[in-house]
């Protein structure tokens, strides 16, 4: 059994007490323990601010890109070992593990490429300025400068690799050190990755810190200039964000919370259309990849009422191919949920949803373990229902909802209260031109699939670093990634007023951004 340590203030150290247990969700075997008790959080944050921040800010964007690229190289050399850990601790299939591990490595490489394009600059300047008075020489220009603090990254259990490195990539490129706090239940993977990076010596002292185990008083020691990027449950986010020190210090706090992500079949998509086939493939994939444990997974499925029977028949056939079991077994396509606690929460959520739905495909009974079979529910009157728009089962569960007309589809889309992602499968340009903007106010990202991209789109649930990730309302209201847009959270945008000559001199050598 392994004891996970934390990497704080430039060295590995152990928390007090026996700590929490990390288990194999298939066998129940205890794999590791971790504790954050008794660790000096104030000292860890101060070390990151003083040593890591100073070192990173001294580098140009291109030099930081070199660090990020070297970091990605270290991880790529060890990906097979990481995949084995993901299988043991998270119950991931090979596809699930690759989504997490390779997703993190790919995001690092993407941000390294952005840094190379920014070149030998330390400063970002917006491309346009504004005349402020009758004197044409007097202008206003906006610049971005790196915050003098530490970024605290609190990550969810379902993506211990991608969640760690997608935040780290943006933070490091912006020139800000970070302290990562992975969810304890699956922290083994993050621990091993950080250990390899530290051993390789590719980052300056203080640029990277890792806390394994409970955070305890971490929020109490944040200062102005620090920030928090959180991924997880809305309840935990509310608890952390309401910390008196966080409120008093006006700490930047971005939240990505679980949400009832949407998938819509357009009124034009008949059962023999390419859009219909792509829709069935995507819904079934989103229900089964990582056993439905993705913050972007499809939870609500809207279809024209006259298409319900055809959709149920097609999804039954697709879900039947998703063989569930031990991911070590050949042919298994869906593993368990990561813990018994998550499985119990999923079964409890299913029981509540059944008050407004019936099982249309899949289903099963709690066997006392961590397995939950893919389950498609049907709610015949979603406009009158409440629970299907409020309860998310964080597992392989989705609810099918018929709609009568486009206006009702828009109303149902908005009933989810805001989500990270929506997808629309339609080849009707007129429908899409009205429908997509109407639902975009409630969704951070909208994937539109017609026949021309049915075979080549990135996927409903795949977060691409080029596009913003986050969503309004119950999704947390945060925003990350999105190429250069992601740097904004880690930098201060300031308006500088002066003569055009002085502004040009002051921003000479800055990287110009057009946003």
Whether 316 maps to a domain, the answer reads yes
Query: Cα dist. 128→58, 142, 487, 504 in Å?
Result: 26, 8, 18, 12
What pairs with residue 403 in β-bridges? 304
Q: Please give the Cα distance from 11 to 5 (Å, whole number).
A: 10
- What's the mean per-residue pLDDT of the chain? 95
| Per-residue pLDDT at 234 | 87
pLDDT at 101 over 90: yes
Is residue 188 classed as helix, strand or coil in its secondary structure?
helix
Instruction: Decide: 140 and 497 in contact? Cβ < 8 Å.
Output: yes
DSSP, res 477: S
Per-residue pLDDT band for 214 (boundaries 50, 70, 90) equals confident
Q: Give, in degrees to the nearest 5, the angle at Cα 320 between 318 and 322.
A: 85
CATH code of the domain covering residue 71: 3.40.605.10
Q: Render pLDDT for 81-90 as a digit per residue (tens, 0 to 9).
A: 999 999 999 9
pLDDT at 515 over 80: no
pLDDT at 206 over 80: yes
| 13 and 50 co-located in one domain | yes
| Per-residue pLDDT at 258 | 85
Q: Please give the Cα distance from 316 to 452 (Å, whole number).
A: 26
256 is catalytic: yes
| Per-residue pLDDT at 215 | 81
Q: Which of 192, 256, 286, 392 is catalytic?
A: 256
| 161 and 294 co-located in one domain | no
Whether 460 maps to a domain, the answer reads no
Residue ending a domain, choose from 430, 452, 474 = 452
- DSSP for 234-300 reads HHHHHHHHT-HHHHHTT-EEEEEE---EEEEE-TT--TTSHHHHHHHHHHHHHHHGGGG--TT-EEE
Whether 500 maps to a domain, the answer reads yes
Domain count, the chain: 2
Whether 457 maps to a domain, the answer reads no
| 157 and 290 co-located in one domain | no
pLDDT at 512 over 80: yes
What mean pLDDT is predicted for residues 72-81?
96
Is residue 26 classed as helix, strand or coil in its secondary structure?
coil
| 268 and 251 co-located in one domain | no
| 150 and 53 co-located in one domain | yes
Whether 276 maps to a domain, the answer reads yes
What mean pLDDT is predicted for residues 121-146?
93
Whether 296 maps to a domain, the answer reads yes
| 193 and 298 co-located in one domain | no
| 153 and 277 co-located in one domain | no
| 248 and 270 co-located in one domain | no
Q: Render pLDDT for 348-366 as a digit per residue (tens, 0 to 9).
A: 999 999 999 999 998 888 8
Q: Render pLDDT for 24-36 as a digit per residue (tens, 0 to 9).
A: 999 999 999 999 9
pLDDT at 449 over 80: yes
Whether 104 maps to a domain, the answer reads yes
What mean pLDDT is predicted for residues 241-262?
94
| 381 and 352 co-located in one domain | yes
Per-residue pLDDT band for 424 (boundaries 50, 70, 90) equals very high
Per-residue pLDDT band for 514 (boundaries 50, 70, 90) equals confident
| Per-residue pLDDT at 269 | 96
Q: Please give the Cα distance from 443 to 417 (Å, whole number).
A: 9
> What is the pTM (predicted TM-score) of this model?
0.93
CATH code of the domain covering residue 317: 3.40.309.10
At 338, list the tokens: 């990561």
More confident residue, 314 or 365: 314
| 285 and 229 co-located in one domain | no
Length of the chain equals 515
Q: Which of 212, 295, 370, 379 is catalytic?
A: 295
At 357, list the tokens: 């739905």
Q: Which residues does 39 contact at the CB level (< 8 Å), separation at least 6?
A: 6, 8, 13, 15, 211, 213, 216
Residue ending a domain, choose from 432, 452, 472 = 452
Per-residue pLDDT band for 483 (boundaries 50, 70, 90) equals very high
| 14 and 156 co-located in one domain | yes
Whether 472 maps to a domain, the answer reads no
| 270 and 401 co-located in one domain | yes
| Contacts for 195-200: CB closer than 8 Å, 24+ residues apart | 195/7, 195/12, 196/74, 196/75, 196/78, 197/71, 197/74, 197/75, 198/7, 198/12, 200/70, 200/74
Identify the domain containing residue 363 by its residue range.
261-452
Q: Please give the Cα distance from 511 to 513 (Å, whole number).
A: 6
């Amino acid at each position: 059994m392994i004891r996970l340590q934390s990497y704080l203030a430039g060295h590995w150290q152990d928390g007090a007490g026996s700590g929490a247990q990390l288990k194999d969700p298939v066998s129940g075997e205890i794999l590791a323990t971790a504790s954050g008790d008794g660790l000096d959080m104030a000292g860890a944050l101060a070390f990151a601010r003083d040593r890591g921040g100073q070192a990173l800010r001294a580098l140009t964007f291109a030099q930081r890109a070199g660090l990020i690229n070297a970091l990605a190289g270290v991880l790529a050399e060890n990906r097979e070992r990481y995949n084995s850990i993901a299988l043991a601790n998270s119950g991931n299939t090979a596809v699930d593990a690759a989504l997490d591990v390779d997703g993190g490595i790919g995001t690092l490489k993407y941000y390294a490429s952005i840094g190379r394009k920014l070149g030998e600059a330390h400063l970002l300047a917006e491309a346009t300025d504004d005349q402020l008075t009758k004197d044409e020489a007097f202008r206003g220009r906006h610049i971005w400068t790196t915050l003098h603090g530490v970024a605290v990254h609190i990550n969810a259990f379902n993506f211990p690799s991608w969640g760690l490195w997608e935040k780290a990539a943006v933070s490091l490129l912006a020139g800000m050190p970070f302290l990562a706090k992975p969810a304890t239940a699956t922290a083994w993977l993050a621990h091993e990755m950080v250990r390899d990076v530290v051993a390789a010596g590719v980052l300056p002292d203080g640029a990277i810190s890792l806390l394994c185990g409970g955070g305890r008083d971490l929020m109490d020691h944040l200062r102005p200039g620090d920030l928090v990027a959180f991924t997880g449950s809305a309840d935990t986010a509310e608890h952390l964000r309401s910390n008196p020190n966080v409120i008093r210090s006006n700490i930047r706090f971005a939240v990505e919370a679980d949400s009832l992500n949407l998938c819509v079949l357009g009124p034009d998509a008949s059962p023999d259309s390419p859009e219909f086939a792509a829709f069935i493939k995507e819904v079934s994939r989103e229900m089964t990849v990582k056993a439905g444990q993705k913050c972007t997974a499809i939870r609500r499925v809207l279809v024209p009422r006259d298409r319900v029977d055809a959709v149920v028949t097609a999804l039954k056939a697709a879900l039947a191919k998703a063989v569930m079991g031990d991911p070590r077994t050949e042919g298994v396509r869906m593993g368990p949920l990561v813990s018994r606690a998550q499985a119990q929460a999923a079964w409890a959520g299913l029981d509540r949803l059944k008050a407004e739905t019936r099982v249309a495909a899949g289903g099963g009974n709690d066997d006392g373990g961590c397995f939950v079979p893919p389950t498609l529910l049907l709610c015949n009157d979603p406009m009158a229902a409440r629970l299907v728009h409020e309860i998310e089962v964080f597992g392989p569960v989705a609810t099918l909802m018929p709609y009568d007309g486009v206006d009702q589809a828009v109303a149902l889309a908005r009933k989810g209260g805001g989500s990270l992602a929506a997808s629309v499968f339609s080849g009707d340009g007129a429908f899409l031109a009205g429908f997509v903007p109407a639902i975009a106010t409630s969704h951070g990202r909208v994937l539109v699939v017609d026949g021309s991209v049915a075979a080549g789109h990135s996927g409903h649930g795949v977060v691409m670093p080029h596009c913003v990730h986050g969503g309004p309302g119950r999704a947390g209201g945060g925003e990350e990634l999105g190429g250069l847009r992601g740097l904004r959270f880690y930098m201060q945008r300031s308006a500088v007023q002066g003569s055009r000559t002085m502004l040009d001199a002051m921003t000479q050598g800055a990287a110009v951004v057009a946003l």
